[in-house]
Amino acid sequence: MERLTEWGVSTKLYATFDPAILERPDHESEPCNQSICQQVLPEYMRDKPFVGIGARNWFHYEPHSLLPYRWQIKRMKGLTEPSPQQQNLIRNLAALADWIVDTFNVNVVFFPMHMGEAENDAGFSDRIISAMKNKKSTAVIAKDSLSPQEYVNLISRAKCFIGVRLHSTIIAAAARVPVAIFYYVDKGRLFFDQIDMSECAWPIEIIGEQELTPAVKETIQALIDHPEGYSSRIAERISKMRQHIADTMDTVFHETTD
């Protein structure tokens, strides 16, 4: 808000939280949720718990380019070879997923958020799976066929959720799923501060440049082994944030209609 004021915005400004936290899973529609699993998961994965991953590409563009990445990719058609940092990110996310499968006897389900050519979360998830040894313990929700309610219902079934894509972790937190993030911009760290999960937020360089540290693995293990405490902590914060959104919208409505 201060920056907008410095830029000369004179309209009254209101600040609140990301409205994505307003999404809620529908736990009353379990038959429907089972149907969703049958629709998007291979049969051999349906009776086993899973950990969700919200992957996104990074280290894949010129950070100081004048061209937005969606234009860069059109200009660089055919140049799809990953950079060394991208290769590290893919290799280390694959190692993380393999470690989760081997350690906790679960499946790993990738939840893309951006399906378009410029971001292509589904294609990037496929690259991670291709680098794994436990490929048959994975699935990608690759078709954009689920409603928002169905998507959040499916995420709510995860034992925990690990994201690079920020909004995948926001939706998981809204569903009371224990979450962790490898953040690429500071708003990812800020969101995890807001939900009292700052110990589960690490800069993306941690996984983009090196293998997982024992401390990161210990934190992820705690999320999977002891989810109730994390879920309760997240739910308490999310509830207060939702109320702040509601109160802010009430204020805006009354001040703009008087």
Tens of pLDDT, residue by residue over 46-67, are: 888 999 999 999 865 555 555 4
116-175: per-residue pLDDT in tens? 777 889 999 999 999 999 999 999 998 778 888 889 999 999 999 999 999 999 999 999
Query: With contact defined as beta carbons under 8 Å apart, do 55 and 110 qualify?
Result: yes
Q: Exposed, middle or buried by CB within 10 Å (0-12, 13-18, 19+), for 194? A: middle
Residues near 23 by beta carbon (within 8 Å), at least 6 away in sequence: 148, 149, 152, 171, 174, 175
Query: With contact defined as beta carbons under 8 Å apart, do 240 and 197 qualify?
Result: no
Q: Residue 186: how many CB atoms within 10 A of its CB?
A: 9
Residues near 65 by beta carbon (within 8 Å), at least 6 away in sequence: 72
Q: CA-to-CA distance for 21 and 188, rounded, in angstroms?
A: 14
pLDDT at 195 over 70: yes
**pLDDT of amino acid 77:** 47
**pLDDT of amino acid 32:** 54
Which residue would you say has higher pLDDT here, 256 or 200? 200
**pLDDT of amino acid 161:** 98
Mean pLDDT in residue range 173-186: 95
Q: What is the DSSP letter of 204?
A: T
Q: CA-to-CA distance for 29 and 17, rounded, in angstroms?
A: 28
Which residue would you say has higher pLDDT here, 18 or 60? 18
E strands, the chain, in order: 50-54, 107-110, 138-140, 161-163, 179-183, 201-203
Q: CA-to-CA distance for 142 and 183, rounded, in angstroms?
A: 23
Mean pLDDT in residue range 227-242: 96
CATH, range 17-62+71-257: 3.40.50.2000
Instruction: Calculate the average pLDDT of the chain.
Output: 86
Q: What is the DSSP letter of 117?
A: T
Mean pLDDT in residue range 35-49: 81
Q: CA-to-CA distance for 13 and 4, rounded, in angstroms?
A: 9
Q: CA-to-CA distance for 36 and 30, rounded, in angstroms?
A: 10
pTM: 0.87
Q: CA-to-CA distance for 198 and 215, rounded, in angstroms?
A: 14
Query: With contact defined as beta carbons under 8 Å apart, do 180 and 204 qualify?
Result: no
HSE-CB of 50 using CA atoms within 13 angstroms? 24
**pLDDT of amino acid 78:** 43
